[in-house]
Amino acid sequence: MTDLFKYLNYREFLRDAYEERHAGDWRFSHRYIAERAGIDASMFNKILQGKRNLTARLVSVFADIFCNDEREKAYFADMVAFNQAKNHSESRRFLEKLVATKECKVENVAKDQFEYFDHWYHAVIRELVTFYPYVGDDAALGLMVRPPITASQVRSSIALLERLSMIRKNPGTGFYEQTQGLISSGSESYSTAVNSYIQQNLNVAQDAMDRFGKDERNLSTLAFACDETTYGELVEMVRRFRREILAKVSQCEKPNRVFQMGMQLFPLSDPYPPPQRRGRKRRIRGQEIADAGAERSEGVDDE
């Protein structure tokens, strides 16, 4: 039987649960689900494909169809809310509820991911031990970080990195070193936690303007206009550049300092013509954008 608590993505759960039920009973079909849910026969497939979201009513209906008890129904509802969250804080709140579920088999992995990405300095400590001869001098290592962190923060960071197999103590030297331990990026918990990590690092980058002189930092920004095709090409350029940076860094034989490089590419405006929102008409300089299409309208000011 498909184990609901193994999932963080409700669409994947519905797909697997449906295939299992359908294999055992051919009458359990998309049409059967559509009839019970009171939806079009094609809607269930669109939901599985991510083209449609579940409404509150459908969450209840699908929970009745695919869940065995109230506890599973509650988990399913939280999973839908997590996947369909409108912002990072909402996403994180529901993921924490999923992780808190005792039978959730992703609990340990998700919890570790949250702990690692919850604090920007875990990544710094992981890099510092590649050249700093750390043997338990927590306060000294904390003072190496900019901005400094406390000895207790260093201890908890070292413990977490060891638990994640991202660092280990070399039995020969007694010093810590990096390992090849990785955190999977294949789940929604990863992207949610990383959003928090990125937000923290943006704050650290902002403070860097006051913390370091121009000779120790390199900050710049750029605003430009382009289309979707060019944007896609820029995204690929950023990916290639990141790979080049990592390749260059891997060739450094004697690192002595930890750096952070942030690359952000995001819109600063709506596309033109602006998208219609919530069925309301949008007028822009003589052009009216409506559901039926664009209609010319002379002498109309911006709303």
Q: How many CA atoms lie within 13 A of 16 on its CB side?
A: 14
Enclosing domain of residue 297: 270-303
- Give me the phi and psi of 69, to 5 degrees please: -150, 180
Query: Going by C-beta distance under 8 Å and a sequence separation of 6 or more, which residues neighbour residue 146?
Result: 211, 212
Question: In this structure, is residue 153 part of a structural domain?
Answer: no
Task: Answer whether residue 100 is part of any domain.
Answer: no
pLDDT at 285: 52
pLDDT score recorded for residue 37: 94
Asked whether residue 67 is domain-assigned, the answer is: yes
Tokens of 111: 């919890």
The per-residue pLDDT for 212 is: 81
Q: Last residue of some domain: 86, 101, 133?
A: 86
- Please tell me the predicted confidence (pLDDT) of residue 113: 62
Q: What is the pLDDT along the chain (303 residues), one digit of tens a residue?
A: 788 988 888 999 999 999 999 999 999 999 999 999 999 989 999 999 999 999 999 999 999 999 999 999 999 999 999 899 888 778 878 877 887 675 544 444 455 666 777 788 998 999 898 889 998 899 999 999 988 999 999 999 999 998 888 899 988 888 888 885 434 444 444 466 666 677 777 778 777 777 888 788 887 878 888 999 999 999 889 888 887 887 788 778 888 999 988 877 878 787 877 766 655 554 555 544 444 444 433 333 333
Is the separation of the CB atoms in 54 and 10 below 8 Å? Answer: yes
3-class state of residue 67 by DSSP: coil
288 phi, psi to nearest 5 deg: -110, 120
In a domain, 301, yes or no: yes
* 103 occurs within a structural domain: no
156: exposed, middle or buried (Cβ count in 10 Å: 0-12, 13-18, 19+) = middle
List the structure tokens of 288: 């009216």
Cβ atoms of 141 and 134 within 8 Å: the answer is yes
Tell which of 53, 86, 119 closes a domain. Answer: 86
Residue recorded with tokens 């007028």: 283
Among 8, 6, 31, CA closest to 18: 31
The pLDDT value recorded for residue 125 is 93
- pLDDT given for residue 116 in this prediction: 78
Cα pseudo-dihedral 46, 50, 53, 57, rounded to 10: 60
Which residues neighbour 245 within 8 Å (Cβ) at sequence distance 6 or greater?
261
- Domain count within the chain: 2
Tell me the C-alpha to C-alpha distance, in Å, between residue 145 and each of 36, 140, 179, 301: 58, 9, 21, 54
The pLDDT value recorded for residue 156 is 94
Cα–Cα dist 44/31, whole Å: 9
Q: What pLDDT does 279 receive?
A: 52
* Residue 191 resides in a domain: no
What is the distance between the alpha carbons of residues 260 and 256, in angstroms, rounded to a whole number?
14
CATH number of the domain enclosing 8: 1.10.260
pTM of the model: 0.55
Q: Is residue 78 part of a domain?
A: yes
Q: State the Cα–Cα distance between residues 205 and 55, nearest whole angstrom.
A: 40
Last residue of a domain, one of 58, 86, 114: 86
